[in-house]
Amino acid sequence: MLKTDLIKSDCPILKREAKNHPLVYLDNAATSQKPRQVIEAIADYYANHNANVHRGLHTLSEEATEMYEDARRVVAGFIGATDLSEVIFTTGTTESLNRVAFTWALFNLQEGDSILLTDIEHHSNLIPWQIVAKQTGAKLEYIEIGSDDTGNIILEKFKDKLSSLSGKVKLVCFSQASNVLGTILPVKEISKAAHAVGALVCIDGAQAVPHIPVNVQSLDCDFYAFSGHKMLGPTGIGVLWARKNLLESMEPFIYGGGMIDVVTLNDSTWAVLPEKLEAGTPHIAGAIGLSRAVKYLRNLDMKNIREHEVIMNTYALNKLSTIEGLKILGPADAQERTGLIAFSVDGIHSHDLAAVLDTVGVAVRSGHHCCMPLHKKLNISSSTRASFYIYNNTDDIDRLVEGIQKAIKILGKNKLKNLEY
Amino acid sequence: MDDTLYREELMEVYKNTSNRGRLTDPSIEIMQKNPMCGDEIVLQLKLSDTNPRVIEDAKFDGVACAVSVISSSYLLDALKGKSIEEAKNMTKEQLLEMLNLNLTTSRVKCATLVLDALKNAIDQYEQR
Protein backbone atom coordinates (compact mmCIF):
# COMPACT_ATOMS: atom_id res chain seq x y z
CA MET A 1 0.00 0.00 0.00
CA LEU A 2 1.25 3.48 -0.82
CA LYS A 3 1.21 6.11 1.89
CA THR A 4 -0.66 8.63 -0.21
CA ASP A 5 -0.76 11.24 2.57
CA LEU A 6 3.03 11.31 2.80
CA ILE A 7 3.38 11.49 -0.97
CA LYS A 8 0.77 14.25 -1.10
CA SER A 9 2.67 16.25 1.50
CA ASP A 10 5.81 15.91 -0.65
CA CYS A 11 4.08 17.75 -3.53
CA PRO A 12 3.81 21.47 -2.69
CA ILE A 13 1.13 22.15 -5.31
CA LEU A 14 -1.25 19.63 -3.76
CA LYS A 15 -1.53 21.88 -0.71
CA ARG A 16 -3.15 24.66 -2.70
CA GLU A 17 -6.78 25.34 -3.34
CA ALA A 18 -8.65 25.71 -6.60
CA LYS A 19 -11.85 27.77 -6.64
CA ASN A 20 -11.78 27.87 -2.82
CA HIS A 21 -11.75 24.09 -2.51
CA PRO A 22 -8.81 21.84 -1.66
CA LEU A 23 -7.34 20.79 -5.00
CA VAL A 24 -8.11 17.26 -6.19
CA TYR A 25 -5.75 16.67 -9.07
CA LEU A 26 -6.99 13.96 -11.43
CA ASP A 27 -5.29 15.00 -14.66
CA ASN A 28 -2.17 12.91 -14.22
CA ALA A 29 -2.31 11.30 -17.65
CA ALA A 30 -1.74 14.80 -19.04
CA THR A 31 1.04 15.62 -16.60
CA SER A 32 1.85 14.60 -13.05
CA GLN A 33 2.62 16.95 -10.18
CA LYS A 34 6.16 17.22 -8.83
CA PRO A 35 7.45 16.30 -5.39
CA ARG A 36 9.72 18.84 -3.69
CA GLN A 37 12.61 16.36 -4.02
CA VAL A 38 12.44 16.78 -7.81
CA ILE A 39 11.99 20.55 -7.62
CA GLU A 40 14.92 20.80 -5.20
CA ALA A 41 17.18 18.63 -7.38
CA ILE A 42 16.59 21.02 -10.30
CA ALA A 43 17.12 24.07 -8.09
CA ASP A 44 20.30 22.53 -6.64
CA TYR A 45 21.69 21.97 -10.11
CA TYR A 46 21.10 25.58 -11.13
CA ALA A 47 22.20 26.98 -7.76
CA ASN A 48 25.34 24.93 -7.30
CA HIS A 49 26.50 23.07 -10.40
CA ASN A 50 25.22 24.85 -13.51
CA ALA A 51 27.58 24.58 -16.50
CA ASN A 52 27.53 23.19 -20.01
CA VAL A 53 28.25 19.49 -20.27
CA HIS A 54 30.88 17.51 -22.13
CA ARG A 55 33.00 20.45 -23.16
CA GLY A 56 34.50 22.21 -20.20
CA LEU A 57 37.46 21.19 -18.14
CA HIS A 58 36.52 23.29 -15.17
CA THR A 59 35.02 22.04 -11.94
CA LEU A 60 31.43 23.06 -12.66
CA SER A 61 31.40 21.52 -16.11
CA GLU A 62 32.77 18.28 -14.78
CA GLU A 63 30.14 18.21 -12.04
CA ALA A 64 27.35 18.98 -14.48
CA THR A 65 28.59 16.30 -16.88
CA GLU A 66 28.78 13.76 -14.09
CA MET A 67 25.22 14.62 -12.96
CA TYR A 68 23.86 14.47 -16.51
CA GLU A 69 25.49 11.13 -17.25
CA ASP A 70 24.45 9.80 -13.86
CA ALA A 71 20.87 10.70 -14.83
CA ARG A 72 21.29 8.54 -17.93
CA ARG A 73 22.48 5.64 -15.74
CA VAL A 74 19.51 6.00 -13.41
CA VAL A 75 16.98 6.18 -16.25
CA ALA A 76 18.62 3.28 -18.08
CA GLY A 77 18.46 1.15 -14.94
CA PHE A 78 14.80 2.03 -14.44
CA ILE A 79 13.73 0.71 -17.86
CA GLY A 80 16.15 -2.21 -17.92
CA ALA A 81 18.43 -0.81 -20.61
CA THR A 82 21.74 -2.63 -20.42
CA ASP A 83 23.76 -0.24 -22.56
CA LEU A 84 23.85 3.45 -21.55
CA SER A 85 24.41 4.56 -25.13
CA GLU A 86 20.97 3.21 -26.00
CA VAL A 87 19.30 5.90 -23.86
CA ILE A 88 18.86 9.13 -25.82
CA PHE A 89 17.49 12.16 -24.02
CA THR A 90 14.84 13.97 -26.07
CA THR A 91 12.19 16.57 -25.30
CA GLY A 92 9.56 13.90 -24.75
CA THR A 93 7.57 11.05 -26.26
CA THR A 94 6.46 13.11 -29.26
CA GLU A 95 10.02 13.93 -30.27
CA SER A 96 11.17 10.37 -29.60
CA LEU A 97 8.51 8.96 -31.91
CA ASN A 98 9.25 11.59 -34.55
CA ARG A 99 12.90 10.55 -34.41
CA VAL A 100 11.99 6.93 -35.17
CA ALA A 101 9.75 8.11 -38.00
CA PHE A 102 12.14 10.55 -39.62
CA THR A 103 15.54 9.04 -38.93
CA TRP A 104 14.72 5.35 -39.16
CA ALA A 105 11.44 4.74 -41.00
CA LEU A 106 11.99 7.36 -43.68
CA PHE A 107 15.27 5.69 -44.67
CA ASN A 108 14.17 2.09 -44.35
CA LEU A 109 10.65 1.89 -45.74
CA GLN A 110 9.49 1.96 -49.32
CA GLU A 111 6.49 1.30 -51.50
CA GLY A 112 5.07 -2.14 -50.83
CA ASP A 113 5.96 -1.97 -47.13
CA SER A 114 3.39 -1.52 -44.38
CA ILE A 115 3.41 0.16 -40.99
CA LEU A 116 1.01 -1.50 -38.59
CA LEU A 117 -0.69 0.73 -36.00
CA THR A 118 -3.80 0.50 -33.87
CA ASP A 119 -6.81 2.78 -34.29
CA ILE A 120 -6.58 4.05 -30.70
CA GLU A 121 -3.21 5.80 -30.95
CA HIS A 122 -2.48 9.26 -29.61
CA HIS A 123 -1.97 11.71 -32.48
CA SER A 124 1.77 11.73 -31.72
CA ASN A 125 1.96 8.04 -32.60
CA LEU A 126 -0.19 8.49 -35.70
CA ILE A 127 0.66 11.69 -37.55
CA PRO A 128 4.43 11.00 -37.92
CA TRP A 129 3.54 7.68 -39.59
CA GLN A 130 1.05 9.38 -41.90
CA ILE A 131 3.85 11.66 -43.09
CA VAL A 132 6.31 8.76 -43.44
CA ALA A 133 3.72 6.84 -45.45
CA LYS A 134 3.17 9.81 -47.77
CA GLN A 135 6.89 10.30 -48.30
CA THR A 136 7.93 6.66 -48.74
CA GLY A 137 4.85 5.14 -50.35
CA ALA A 138 4.53 2.69 -47.47
CA LYS A 139 0.99 1.83 -46.43
CA LEU A 140 -0.61 2.35 -43.03
CA GLU A 141 -2.52 -0.63 -41.67
CA TYR A 142 -4.61 -0.66 -38.50
CA ILE A 143 -5.64 -3.08 -35.80
CA GLU A 144 -9.14 -2.15 -34.66
CA ILE A 145 -9.25 -2.19 -30.89
CA GLY A 146 -12.66 -2.28 -29.27
CA SER A 147 -13.40 -0.31 -26.13
CA ASP A 148 -13.65 -3.53 -24.07
CA ASP A 149 -10.82 -5.44 -25.74
CA THR A 150 -8.14 -6.82 -23.46
CA GLY A 151 -4.74 -8.51 -23.81
CA ASN A 152 -5.40 -11.83 -25.52
CA ILE A 153 -8.08 -10.53 -27.86
CA ILE A 154 -5.74 -7.74 -28.95
CA LEU A 155 -2.84 -10.17 -29.41
CA GLU A 156 -4.97 -12.38 -31.66
CA LYS A 157 -5.95 -9.36 -33.76
CA PHE A 158 -2.26 -8.50 -34.21
CA LYS A 159 -1.41 -12.09 -35.14
CA ASP A 160 -4.23 -12.25 -37.69
CA LYS A 161 -3.26 -8.96 -39.29
CA LEU A 162 0.44 -9.81 -39.38
CA SER A 163 -0.29 -13.10 -41.06
CA SER A 164 -2.77 -11.63 -43.55
CA LEU A 165 -0.24 -8.98 -44.56
CA SER A 166 2.34 -11.74 -45.05
CA GLY A 167 5.76 -10.18 -44.76
CA LYS A 168 4.75 -6.66 -45.79
CA VAL A 169 4.80 -5.18 -42.30
CA LYS A 170 8.18 -3.64 -41.54
CA LEU A 171 7.24 -1.70 -38.43
CA VAL A 172 4.61 -2.21 -35.73
CA CYS A 173 3.84 0.87 -33.58
CA PHE A 174 1.47 1.13 -30.67
CA SER A 175 1.00 2.51 -27.17
CA GLN A 176 1.76 0.12 -24.36
CA ALA A 177 -1.14 1.74 -22.51
CA SER A 178 -3.95 3.75 -24.10
CA ASN A 179 -4.35 7.35 -22.91
CA VAL A 180 -8.14 7.14 -23.31
CA LEU A 181 -9.20 3.54 -22.73
CA GLY A 182 -6.43 2.78 -20.23
CA THR A 183 -6.02 -0.62 -21.93
CA ILE A 184 -2.64 -2.27 -21.37
CA LEU A 185 -1.37 -4.02 -24.49
CA PRO A 186 0.69 -7.24 -24.33
CA VAL A 187 3.91 -5.79 -25.76
CA LYS A 188 6.08 -8.85 -25.23
CA GLU A 189 3.75 -11.21 -27.08
CA ILE A 190 3.03 -8.74 -29.88
CA SER A 191 6.78 -8.13 -30.29
CA LYS A 192 7.35 -11.85 -30.64
CA ALA A 193 4.68 -12.10 -33.34
CA ALA A 194 6.05 -9.03 -35.14
CA HIS A 195 9.64 -10.28 -35.05
CA ALA A 196 8.51 -13.63 -36.42
CA VAL A 197 7.50 -11.88 -39.65
CA GLY A 198 10.58 -9.64 -39.71
CA ALA A 199 8.96 -6.42 -38.43
CA LEU A 200 10.45 -4.07 -35.86
CA VAL A 201 8.42 -2.83 -32.91
CA CYS A 202 8.14 0.78 -31.72
CA ILE A 203 6.37 1.44 -28.43
CA ASP A 204 4.78 4.66 -27.19
CA GLY A 205 5.34 4.24 -23.47
CA ALA A 206 4.09 7.66 -22.33
CA GLN A 207 1.20 6.16 -20.35
CA ALA A 208 3.04 3.02 -19.26
CA VAL A 209 6.40 3.94 -17.73
CA PRO A 210 4.85 6.14 -14.99
CA HIS A 211 2.43 3.39 -13.98
CA ILE A 212 3.68 -0.15 -14.52
CA PRO A 213 7.08 -1.83 -14.25
CA VAL A 214 8.72 -1.57 -17.69
CA ASN A 215 11.77 -3.49 -18.83
CA VAL A 216 12.69 -2.92 -22.45
CA GLN A 217 14.77 -6.10 -22.59
CA SER A 218 11.99 -8.40 -21.47
CA LEU A 219 9.41 -6.53 -23.57
CA ASP A 220 11.71 -7.36 -26.48
CA CYS A 221 10.74 -4.25 -28.45
CA ASP A 222 13.11 -2.30 -30.74
CA PHE A 223 12.21 1.32 -29.98
CA TYR A 224 10.66 2.67 -26.79
CA ALA A 225 9.58 6.29 -26.20
CA PHE A 226 8.43 8.03 -23.03
CA SER A 227 8.23 11.42 -21.26
CA GLY A 228 9.53 12.63 -17.92
CA HIS A 229 6.72 14.99 -16.98
CA LYS A 230 4.05 12.30 -16.58
CA MET A 231 6.22 10.51 -13.98
CA LEU A 232 7.00 13.30 -11.47
CA GLY A 233 9.77 14.77 -13.65
CA PRO A 234 9.97 18.15 -15.34
CA THR A 235 8.55 19.00 -18.75
CA GLY A 236 10.83 19.12 -21.78
CA ILE A 237 12.71 15.89 -21.05
CA GLY A 238 11.99 12.43 -22.36
CA VAL A 239 13.71 9.37 -23.67
CA LEU A 240 14.12 7.38 -26.81
CA TRP A 241 15.51 3.95 -26.11
CA ALA A 242 16.41 1.77 -29.07
CA ARG A 243 18.65 -1.16 -29.84
CA LYS A 244 22.21 -0.02 -30.37
CA ASN A 245 22.53 -1.33 -33.93
CA LEU A 246 19.42 0.65 -34.88
CA LEU A 247 20.62 3.86 -33.24
CA GLU A 248 23.99 3.43 -34.93
CA SER A 249 22.32 3.09 -38.31
CA MET A 250 20.13 6.17 -37.75
CA GLU A 251 21.08 9.60 -39.02
CA PRO A 252 20.97 12.39 -36.43
CA PHE A 253 17.62 14.17 -36.12
CA ILE A 254 19.27 17.52 -35.53
CA TYR A 255 22.79 18.68 -36.24
CA GLY A 256 25.09 21.06 -34.43
CA GLY A 257 27.41 21.23 -31.48
CA GLY A 258 28.22 18.31 -29.24
CA MET A 259 27.40 15.59 -31.76
CA ILE A 260 30.44 15.66 -34.02
CA ASP A 261 33.69 13.80 -34.42
CA VAL A 262 35.56 15.90 -36.99
CA VAL A 263 34.26 19.00 -38.77
CA THR A 264 35.82 20.59 -41.85
CA LEU A 265 34.38 23.38 -43.94
CA ASN A 266 32.88 20.88 -46.35
CA ASP A 267 32.05 17.80 -44.34
CA SER A 268 31.55 16.37 -40.87
CA THR A 269 31.57 13.05 -39.11
CA TRP A 270 29.56 12.11 -36.07
CA ALA A 271 30.46 11.32 -32.50
CA VAL A 272 29.62 7.92 -31.05
CA LEU A 273 26.33 7.25 -29.26
CA PRO A 274 24.63 8.79 -27.39
CA GLU A 275 26.24 12.17 -28.25
CA LYS A 276 25.65 11.62 -31.98
CA LEU A 277 21.91 11.93 -31.35
CA GLU A 278 21.99 14.75 -28.79
CA ALA A 279 23.07 17.86 -30.71
CA GLY A 280 23.09 21.17 -28.90
CA THR A 281 23.15 21.83 -25.17
CA PRO A 282 20.89 19.16 -23.70
CA HIS A 283 18.20 19.76 -21.08
CA ILE A 284 20.66 19.08 -18.26
CA ALA A 285 18.39 20.22 -15.46
CA GLY A 286 15.57 18.20 -16.99
CA ALA A 287 17.62 15.01 -17.02
CA ILE A 288 18.66 15.60 -13.42
CA GLY A 289 15.04 16.24 -12.42
CA LEU A 290 13.91 13.10 -14.24
CA SER A 291 16.60 11.09 -12.53
CA ARG A 292 15.40 12.32 -9.12
CA ALA A 293 11.82 11.46 -10.11
CA VAL A 294 12.91 7.95 -11.06
CA LYS A 295 14.63 7.53 -7.69
CA TYR A 296 11.43 8.66 -5.96
CA LEU A 297 9.37 6.11 -7.91
CA ARG A 298 11.95 3.37 -7.40
CA ASN A 299 11.86 4.03 -3.70
CA LEU A 300 8.09 3.46 -3.69
CA ASP A 301 8.57 0.41 -5.94
CA MET A 302 6.72 0.23 -9.26
CA LYS A 303 4.96 -2.95 -8.11
CA ASN A 304 3.38 -1.02 -5.23
CA ILE A 305 2.46 1.82 -7.57
CA ARG A 306 0.73 -0.62 -9.88
CA GLU A 307 -1.06 -2.25 -6.97
CA HIS A 308 -2.25 1.18 -5.76
CA GLU A 309 -3.62 2.01 -9.19
CA VAL A 310 -5.56 -1.24 -9.39
CA ILE A 311 -7.11 -0.43 -6.01
CA MET A 312 -8.01 3.07 -7.25
CA ASN A 313 -9.39 1.68 -10.50
CA THR A 314 -11.53 -0.87 -8.70
CA TYR A 315 -12.97 1.76 -6.37
CA ALA A 316 -13.54 4.31 -9.15
CA LEU A 317 -15.08 1.85 -11.62
CA ASN A 318 -17.42 0.71 -8.89
CA LYS A 319 -18.48 4.22 -7.85
CA LEU A 320 -18.76 5.64 -11.35
CA SER A 321 -20.87 2.75 -12.58
CA THR A 322 -23.59 3.69 -10.08
CA ILE A 323 -24.12 7.07 -11.79
CA GLU A 324 -27.05 6.96 -14.15
CA GLY A 325 -26.22 7.88 -17.74
CA LEU A 326 -22.47 7.59 -17.20
CA LYS A 327 -20.69 5.38 -19.69
CA ILE A 328 -17.16 4.18 -18.91
CA LEU A 329 -14.76 3.75 -21.81
CA GLY A 330 -12.26 0.91 -21.81
CA PRO A 331 -12.03 -2.52 -20.16
CA ALA A 332 -14.29 -3.27 -17.19
CA ASP A 333 -11.53 -5.17 -15.38
CA ALA A 334 -9.38 -2.90 -13.16
CA GLN A 335 -6.38 -5.17 -13.78
CA GLU A 336 -6.50 -4.61 -17.51
CA ARG A 337 -6.00 -0.85 -17.37
CA THR A 338 -3.67 1.80 -16.04
CA GLY A 339 -4.92 4.34 -13.52
CA LEU A 340 -7.18 6.35 -15.74
CA ILE A 341 -10.87 6.29 -16.52
CA ALA A 342 -12.45 8.19 -19.38
CA PHE A 343 -16.21 8.43 -19.51
CA SER A 344 -19.11 10.24 -21.05
CA VAL A 345 -22.33 11.34 -19.39
CA ASP A 346 -25.54 11.30 -21.43
CA GLY A 347 -26.57 14.77 -22.53
CA ILE A 348 -23.66 16.55 -20.85
CA HIS A 349 -20.76 17.91 -22.82
CA SER A 350 -17.34 16.96 -21.44
CA HIS A 351 -16.28 20.63 -21.30
CA ASP A 352 -19.25 21.52 -19.14
CA LEU A 353 -18.65 18.54 -16.91
CA ALA A 354 -14.99 19.51 -16.46
CA ALA A 355 -15.96 23.14 -15.84
CA VAL A 356 -18.45 22.20 -13.12
CA LEU A 357 -15.87 19.85 -11.56
CA ASP A 358 -13.42 22.74 -11.57
CA THR A 359 -15.86 24.82 -9.53
CA VAL A 360 -15.45 22.27 -6.73
CA GLY A 361 -11.67 22.04 -7.09
CA VAL A 362 -11.53 18.78 -9.05
CA ALA A 363 -9.16 18.87 -12.04
CA VAL A 364 -9.98 16.46 -14.86
CA ARG A 365 -9.36 16.52 -18.58
CA SER A 366 -12.06 16.95 -21.18
CA GLY A 367 -11.91 16.77 -24.94
CA HIS A 368 -10.64 14.20 -27.42
CA HIS A 369 -7.31 13.69 -25.56
CA CYS A 370 -5.42 13.83 -28.88
CA CYS A 371 -7.37 10.77 -30.06
CA MET A 372 -9.84 12.12 -32.61
CA PRO A 373 -10.17 8.89 -34.64
CA LEU A 374 -10.93 6.87 -31.48
CA HIS A 375 -13.66 9.28 -30.37
CA LYS A 376 -15.16 9.25 -33.85
CA LYS A 377 -15.24 5.46 -33.72
CA LEU A 378 -16.92 5.54 -30.31
CA ASN A 379 -19.41 8.02 -31.81
CA ILE A 380 -18.74 10.70 -29.21
CA SER A 381 -17.17 14.08 -29.87
CA SER A 382 -15.28 14.11 -26.60
CA SER A 383 -14.96 12.48 -23.21
CA THR A 384 -13.99 13.35 -19.66
CA ARG A 385 -10.95 11.65 -18.20
CA ALA A 386 -9.98 11.22 -14.56
CA SER A 387 -6.46 9.91 -14.17
CA PHE A 388 -4.82 8.89 -10.92
CA TYR A 389 -1.33 8.82 -9.59
CA ILE A 390 0.59 7.91 -6.47
CA TYR A 391 -0.78 10.76 -4.32
CA ASN A 392 -4.46 10.17 -5.08
CA ASN A 393 -6.69 8.27 -2.70
CA THR A 394 -10.29 7.12 -2.60
CA ASP A 395 -11.42 10.43 -1.03
CA ASP A 396 -10.37 12.08 -4.28
CA ILE A 397 -12.65 9.71 -6.18
CA ASP A 398 -15.51 10.54 -3.81
CA ARG A 399 -14.98 14.24 -4.57
CA LEU A 400 -15.03 13.41 -8.28
CA VAL A 401 -18.30 11.51 -7.97
CA GLU A 402 -19.92 14.34 -5.95
CA GLY A 403 -18.81 16.80 -8.62
CA ILE A 404 -20.29 14.71 -11.42
CA GLN A 405 -23.56 14.51 -9.53
CA LYS A 406 -23.55 18.29 -9.14
CA ALA A 407 -22.98 18.67 -12.88
CA ILE A 408 -25.86 16.35 -13.70
CA LYS A 409 -28.11 18.34 -11.38
CA ILE A 410 -27.19 21.66 -12.99
CA LEU A 411 -26.89 20.69 -16.62
CA GLY A 412 -29.56 18.03 -16.72
CA LYS A 413 -30.19 16.58 -20.09
CA ASN A 414 -29.64 18.36 -23.33
CA LYS A 415 -30.34 17.13 -26.81
CA LEU A 416 -26.72 16.49 -27.75
CA LYS A 417 -26.31 14.47 -30.84
CA ASN A 418 -23.63 13.89 -33.40
CA LEU A 419 -24.21 15.52 -36.75
CA GLU A 420 -24.98 13.16 -39.56
CA TYR A 421 -23.20 13.97 -42.77
CA MET B 1 -14.55 29.33 -15.02
CA ASP B 2 -16.97 31.69 -13.43
CA ASP B 3 -19.65 29.84 -11.55
CA THR B 4 -22.22 32.23 -13.03
CA LEU B 5 -22.07 30.39 -16.35
CA TYR B 6 -24.13 27.64 -14.83
CA ARG B 7 -26.74 29.98 -13.35
CA GLU B 8 -30.34 29.10 -13.90
CA GLU B 9 -31.40 31.47 -16.68
CA LEU B 10 -28.42 30.48 -18.80
CA MET B 11 -29.12 26.80 -18.19
CA GLU B 12 -32.63 27.50 -19.43
CA VAL B 13 -31.17 28.88 -22.68
CA TYR B 14 -28.80 25.92 -22.88
CA LYS B 15 -31.48 23.32 -22.49
CA ASN B 16 -34.38 24.88 -24.34
CA THR B 17 -33.22 27.47 -26.84
CA SER B 18 -35.58 27.66 -29.79
CA ASN B 19 -32.68 28.64 -32.03
CA ARG B 20 -31.50 25.05 -31.94
CA GLY B 21 -32.76 22.78 -34.68
CA ARG B 22 -33.00 22.77 -38.48
CA LEU B 23 -34.57 25.06 -41.07
CA THR B 24 -36.64 23.41 -43.77
CA ASP B 25 -35.30 25.57 -46.60
CA PRO B 26 -32.02 27.26 -45.64
CA SER B 27 -30.29 29.66 -48.05
CA ILE B 28 -26.91 28.98 -46.47
CA GLU B 29 -25.71 26.02 -44.46
CA ILE B 30 -22.27 25.42 -43.04
CA MET B 31 -20.59 23.01 -40.66
CA GLN B 32 -17.94 24.36 -38.31
CA LYS B 33 -15.55 22.31 -36.20
CA ASN B 34 -13.61 23.27 -33.11
CA PRO B 35 -10.45 21.19 -33.55
CA MET B 36 -9.48 21.74 -29.93
CA CYS B 37 -12.40 19.76 -28.55
CA GLY B 38 -13.89 18.02 -31.59
CA ASP B 39 -17.18 19.88 -31.32
CA GLU B 40 -19.09 20.52 -34.48
CA ILE B 41 -22.07 22.72 -35.15
CA VAL B 42 -24.13 23.31 -38.24
CA LEU B 43 -25.36 26.85 -38.87
CA GLN B 44 -28.25 27.57 -41.23
CA LEU B 45 -29.42 30.97 -42.44
CA LYS B 46 -32.60 31.83 -44.34
CA LEU B 47 -32.24 34.99 -46.41
CA SER B 48 -34.96 37.28 -47.79
CA ASP B 49 -35.44 37.92 -51.52
CA THR B 50 -35.18 41.67 -50.93
CA ASN B 51 -32.23 43.89 -51.72
CA PRO B 52 -30.21 44.07 -49.54
CA ARG B 53 -30.78 40.53 -48.37
CA VAL B 54 -31.81 40.20 -44.76
CA ILE B 55 -31.43 37.21 -42.43
CA GLU B 56 -35.04 36.17 -41.88
CA ASP B 57 -34.35 33.11 -39.77
CA ALA B 58 -31.40 31.14 -38.42
CA LYS B 59 -30.83 27.84 -36.65
CA PHE B 60 -27.88 25.90 -35.28
CA ASP B 61 -27.50 22.28 -34.26
CA GLY B 62 -24.87 19.75 -33.34
CA VAL B 63 -22.57 18.77 -30.54
CA ALA B 64 -21.51 21.69 -28.41
CA CYS B 65 -20.88 22.65 -24.82
CA ALA B 66 -23.02 25.05 -22.81
CA VAL B 67 -20.83 28.06 -23.66
CA SER B 68 -21.10 27.29 -27.35
CA VAL B 69 -24.85 26.65 -27.24
CA ILE B 70 -25.60 29.81 -25.23
CA SER B 71 -23.33 31.88 -27.44
CA SER B 72 -24.94 30.46 -30.59
CA SER B 73 -28.38 31.20 -29.25
CA TYR B 74 -27.50 34.82 -28.39
CA LEU B 75 -25.81 35.41 -31.72
CA LEU B 76 -28.72 34.00 -33.69
CA ASP B 77 -31.16 36.21 -31.79
CA ALA B 78 -29.02 39.19 -32.72
CA LEU B 79 -28.70 38.16 -36.36
CA LYS B 80 -32.36 37.93 -37.20
CA GLY B 81 -33.46 40.98 -39.16
CA LYS B 82 -29.91 42.04 -39.96
CA SER B 83 -28.54 42.42 -43.48
CA ILE B 84 -25.67 40.25 -44.69
CA GLU B 85 -23.41 43.29 -44.49
CA GLU B 86 -24.38 43.95 -40.88
CA ALA B 87 -23.91 40.28 -39.97
CA LYS B 88 -20.48 40.32 -41.57
CA ASN B 89 -19.39 43.17 -39.37
CA MET B 90 -20.28 41.39 -36.17
CA THR B 91 -17.09 41.13 -34.09
CA LYS B 92 -15.82 38.72 -31.47
CA GLU B 93 -15.79 41.58 -28.96
CA GLN B 94 -19.47 42.37 -29.61
CA LEU B 95 -20.39 38.73 -29.14
CA LEU B 96 -18.44 38.41 -25.89
CA GLU B 97 -20.01 41.63 -24.65
CA MET B 98 -23.45 40.27 -25.43
CA LEU B 99 -22.65 37.10 -23.46
CA ASN B 100 -21.19 39.04 -20.54
CA LEU B 101 -19.49 35.95 -19.10
CA ASN B 102 -16.14 35.76 -17.44
CA LEU B 103 -14.63 33.25 -19.88
CA THR B 104 -11.14 31.75 -19.75
CA THR B 105 -9.05 31.78 -22.92
CA SER B 106 -9.88 28.21 -23.85
CA ARG B 107 -13.60 28.77 -23.45
CA VAL B 108 -13.59 31.93 -25.55
CA LYS B 109 -12.97 29.53 -28.44
CA CYS B 110 -16.17 27.68 -27.53
CA ALA B 111 -18.06 30.97 -27.58
CA THR B 112 -16.70 32.07 -30.95
CA LEU B 113 -17.28 28.78 -32.78
CA VAL B 114 -20.64 30.05 -34.05
CA LEU B 115 -19.10 33.36 -35.13
CA ASP B 116 -16.47 31.49 -37.16
CA ALA B 117 -19.31 29.52 -38.71
CA LEU B 118 -21.13 32.76 -39.56
CA LYS B 119 -18.08 34.32 -41.24
CA ASN B 120 -17.41 31.18 -43.26
CA ALA B 121 -21.06 30.87 -44.23
CA ILE B 122 -21.15 34.43 -45.55
CA ASP B 123 -17.83 33.98 -47.39
CA GLN B 124 -19.18 30.86 -49.01
CA TYR B 125 -22.43 32.63 -49.96
CA GLU B 126 -20.64 35.60 -51.48
CA GLN B 127 -18.39 33.37 -53.55
CA ARG B 128 -21.35 31.72 -55.24
All structural domains of chain A with their residue ranges? 4-30+301-411, 40-297
- A370 carries an active-site annotation: yes
Nearest to A411 among B31, B66, B107 (CB): B66
What homologous superfamily does CATH list for A4-30+301-411?
A: Aspartate Aminotransferase, domain 1 (3.90.1150.10)
Mutate to test the interface with A, among B2, B6, B13, B104 (most CBs of A within 10 A): B6
Q: Which H or E run includes A241?
A: strand A238-242
> pLDDT at position B102, please?
84
Residue B41 to chain A, least CA–CA distance (Å): 8
CA distance A26 to A41: 25
pLDDT tens for residues A391-416? 999 999 999 999 999 999 998 765 55
Q: Is B14 in Cβ contact with A355 (below 8 Å)? A: no
Nearest to B83 by CA among B50, B115, B125, B60: B50
Distance CA(B113)–CA(B128), nearest Å, equals 23
DSSP A89-103: EES-HHHHHHHHIII
- Write the pLDDT tens digit of every residue in A52-87: 998 778 999 999 999 999 999 999 999 999 999 999
C-alpha distance from B75 to closest chain A C-alpha (Å): 19
CATH number of this structure's domain A40-297, picked from the four choices 2.60.40.10, 3.40.190.10, 3.40.640.10, 3.40.50.300: 3.40.640.10
Mean pLDDT check: name the lowest of A160-169, A235-244, B95-104.
B95-104
What pLDDT is attached to residue A104? 98
User: By percentage, how much of chain A surpasses pLDDT 90?
Assistant: 91
Model confidence band, residue B3 (pLDDT cutoffs 50, 70, 90): low
Single pTM value for the model: 0.92
Q: Which of A11, A202, A221, A370 is catalytic?
A: A370
Helix axes B66-79, B92-99, angle to 10 degrees: 110
Q: Which residue has the higher pLDDT, A112 or B33?
A: A112
- The model's pLDDT over A203-225, given as tens digits with 9 standing for 90+, comes to 999 999 999 999 999 999 999 99
A349 and B65 Cβ atoms separated by less than 8 Å: yes
Within 8 A of B65 by CB-CB distance, chain A residues are 349-352, 355
8 A C-beta contact, residue A287 and residue A78: no
Judged by CB atoms closer than 8 Å, whether chains meet at B63 and A367 is answered as: no
Distance from CA of B119 to the nearest CA of A (A): 20
| pLDDT score of A419 | 52
Mean pLDDT in residue range B107-115: 92
**Domain B3-126 falls in which CATH fold?**
Sufe protein. Chain: A (3.90.1010)
Chain A interface residues facing chain B, Cβ-Cβ under 8 Å?
19, 349-352, 355-356, 358-359, 366-368, 372, 375, 381-382, 410-419, 421
